[in-house]
Chain A
Amino acid sequence: MAVLEVHDLGIRFGGLQALEAVTFKADEYEIVGLMGPNGAGKTTAFNCITGFYEPTTGTISYRGRDITSLRPDQRAALGIGRTFQQVGLVRTMTVLENLLTAQHARIRYGAASGMFGIPNALVEERELVRRAMEVMDFMGMTRLAHTPLAGLPYGTLKMVEASAVLATDPDLLLLDEPSAGMSPEESHEFGELLLRIRKQLGVTIVMIEHHVPMVVAVCDYIYVLNFGRLLAQGLPAEIQSHPEVISAYFGEEETYGAA
């Protein structure tokens, strides 16, 4: 059973058909790339999957369950984690507090127990800190635990965001341009990190990405969107040489990033 199945997804904003009849899926432990020129509807598709937009047509299934009508927080609680193009973190908190907040849906004690300081809640709070530290350890961020986010450089914020998403204990990760703003070396390292995340945490990843060498190195399968429609799909090598993709995305007679 596929982890994520998007079937016949369509959404219209006024006169603009942002997505039309888009169908794709991600199988267990796959890293699926979502590519396409600016305005192709990639982030819109993510917003439909995470529940911020209500699609006009189509269904979204997560492990065989239709989640099209669930609220965003319910989908997150099921195990769908997401990063944003503009870093998605709580800016007034420290790194550790962000990772604690991210574990919200995993917390077993009720909101009231926390407010009244019931011992169970206090014990679990310590457990949350331990888990947050574990994630930071994995990401090599432990040093920054008590640092406020304000003033951290963009690249670090991206890593903190990735840590926060991992702290939500996701089963499916949706990454929106994770390597934006990174140097080639950094994005190479990030690709390695993604492979390590998949291997050790056993997650399925769908990523929107423009950086071709990274996509080719990391993704198992690629879907290409153009003007809200699915233009092509295939293995990375096939997509690189796909004539329609080249003309729509890479420009005429040019192949980028022969990795």
Chain B
Amino acid sequence: MATTDSARPTIQLPAQPVEAGNSRPQERFRPSAGGWAARYAVAIGVVTFIFVLPIIVPDESAANLVISAAIFACVALSMNMLTGYLGQLSLGHQAFFGIGAFVAATIVTSNGLPFVAGLAVGGLSGAFAAIILGGVALRIRGLYLAIVTLAYGLLAENSLFLIRGLTGGGAGLPADRPAGFATNRAYAYICLGMLALLFAFDWRLMKSKAGRAILAIRDDEKVAATFGINITGYKLLAFVLSGIYAGLAGSLYAFQIGNVVAAPFNLALALTFVLMAVVGGLGNRVGVVIGGAFFATIDTILELVHSFFIWLGGLVGIHWGHGLDPTLAPVIGAALLVLTLIGHPGGIGQQIAPLQNWVRGGKFTLHGGDKPAVVSGGGSVGRP
């Protein structure tokens, strides 16, 4: 050793106030009063349109479509929480959705509790189901965790949901809507209300410390930890919130169909959920909601288009045979997925980003939007 410690000088600093520099942030574009008015008009117009939908749709079956769209949009927010924000692919979301549905039906039918209790317990049961999976997520990541979620979903689908004592087996569990909401038009308002609630909650979350912590964990766990973020805690929080969203959506679904059976909660549903989130645009709240609504209604849209072409063909004397019928839905979903993955990683969210940016008070440019498109899982997929 070269020296002893005694040779080491002691550093003393005079107390000094922090000097302030005088640089200014880049001037951000601010719209004029008229610009704001136009922006508010568009925003209010869109929200109003969504909330008058149950009234203006032609019949009850169309109102049922609005219900499906709202419920799938809630699930899309749930997928977005795990896959978009936390960066973890979930292939077992039908488990949370189904558990929410069965628990809500049980609470209302078997226990005779009110509708609101069914919703609340349904949501909490989704959270409980998710926290079990979250415990696994603390140990493994990426592709390996994705496979565990797949197994988890299949386990729920093929064993848990088939236990006669819990789910009523093939006969299913009845779930009656609350008084006054028996029609689809009325029930659609409950579903849209829930969607609005989750949407607002999700928006606040991502503007607060918990949201930033979850995003930081997705990008780099080490960096997140050096920022003082409790990795374990916020990962579990993301799982719990995702489970609550999906559980609530599942509860709403139970009352939509009125009798819950195991059959719909299958792997195909889980894959549809993934499609909704990816095509919608991972990390983009508005995008995934549109994605959810789209995949909830795609069958009907195709049917309408199909009958329109039949009608058109009838006019000009052409017989179409089989054309754009609903059997094409999976093909269209797959094509959109490929299109998203190859050219537009931000999905629908990327396409609407310029508009979103404009409504928030930015300038309208085709390449607008505050943030670059988020491609989730880039850092963690493949790393055990």
Contacts and interface: CB of A to CB of B under 8 A. Distances in A.
Interface of A: 27-30, 50-52, 71-73, 76-77, 81-82, 84, 88-94, 97, 100-102, 104-107, 109, 111, 113-117, 121, 125, 133-134, 137-138, 140, 142-148, 150, 164-165, 168, 198-202, 220-221, 232-235, 238-239, 242
Given A90-B220, A92-B215, A117-B208, 5 more contacts: A84-B222, A90-B219, A94-B370, A134-B18, A239-B2
Interface string B1-35: 11100011111110010111111111010000000
A117 B12 CA distance: 44
B41 interface: no
Contact of A115 (B11, B16, B205): B205
Given A97-B212, A114-B210, A200-B18, A91 B12 contact: no
Contact of A73 (B211, B229, B283): B229
Contacts of B139: none
Contacts of B24: 142-143
B237 A111 contact: yes
Contact of A88 (B19, B226, B234): B226
Contacts of B317: none
A73 B8 contact: no
Given A30-B11, A145-B26, A168-B228, A238 B3 contact: yes
B213 A137 contact: no
A72 B225 contact: yes
A164 B224 CA distance: 11
Nearest to A199: B13
Given A29-B13, A94-B370, A148-B372, A142 B25 contact: yes
A30 B9 CA distance: 9
Given A114-B204, A133-B25, A105 B11 contact: no
A200 B16 contact: yes
7 contacts: A29-B12, A93-B216, A114-B210, A138-B21, A220-B9, A235-B3, A238-B3
Interface in B56-105: none
Contacts of A91: 219-220
Nearest to B371: A148
- The residue among B212, B213, B227, B374 with the most chain A CB atoms within 10 A of its own CB is B227
Interface in B216-274: 216, 218-220, 222-231, 234, 237
Interface residues of B, number: 53
B201 interface: yes
Contact of A125 (B208, B229, B231): B208
B15 to A, nearest CB: 8
A198 B13 contact: yes
Nearest to B213: A104
B16 A232 contact: no
Contact of A234 (B2, B228, B372): B2
A121 B11 CA distance: 39
B223 A73 contact: no
A73 B3 CA distance: 36
- The residue among B20, B210, B212, B370 with the most chain A CB atoms within 10 A of its own CB is B212
Given A27-B10, A146-B25, A100 B18 contact: no
Contacts of B209: 104, 107, 109, 111, 114
A76 B225 contact: yes
A104 B370 CA distance: 22
- The residue among A133, A137, A138 with the most chain B CB atoms within 10 A of its own CB is A137
B207 interface: yes
A87 to B, nearest CB: 9
B25 A143 contact: yes
A147 B227 CA distance: 20
Contacts of B13: 29, 198-199, 202
B227 A105 contact: yes
B23 A137 contact: yes
Contacts of A143: 23-26
Contacts of A142: 21, 23-25
Contacts of B211: 114
A146 B371 contact: no
Nearest to A222: B2
Interface in B125-152: none
Contacts of B22: 137
Contacts of B10: 27-28
Given A90-B219, A143-B26, A235 B7 contact: yes
A147 B372 CA distance: 11
B55 to A, nearest CB: 30
A237 to B, nearest CB: 10
A145 B220 contact: no
Contacts of B210: 111, 114-115
A246 B230 CA distance: 43
B60 to A, nearest CB: 36
Given A111-B209, A114-B210, A101 B227 contact: yes
A101 B208 contact: no
A150 B372 contact: yes
Nearest to A93: B215
Contacts of A220: 8-9, 11
A228 to B, nearest CB: 17
A116 B204 contact: yes
Contacts of B374: 92
Contact of B2 (A106, A140, A242): A242
A27 B62 CA distance: 72
A52 B25 CA distance: 36
List the 9 closest A-B pairs by CB distance, nearest first.
A114-B208, A105-B228, A234-B2, A72-B225, A76-B228, A29-B11, A111-B210, A117-B204, A101-B212
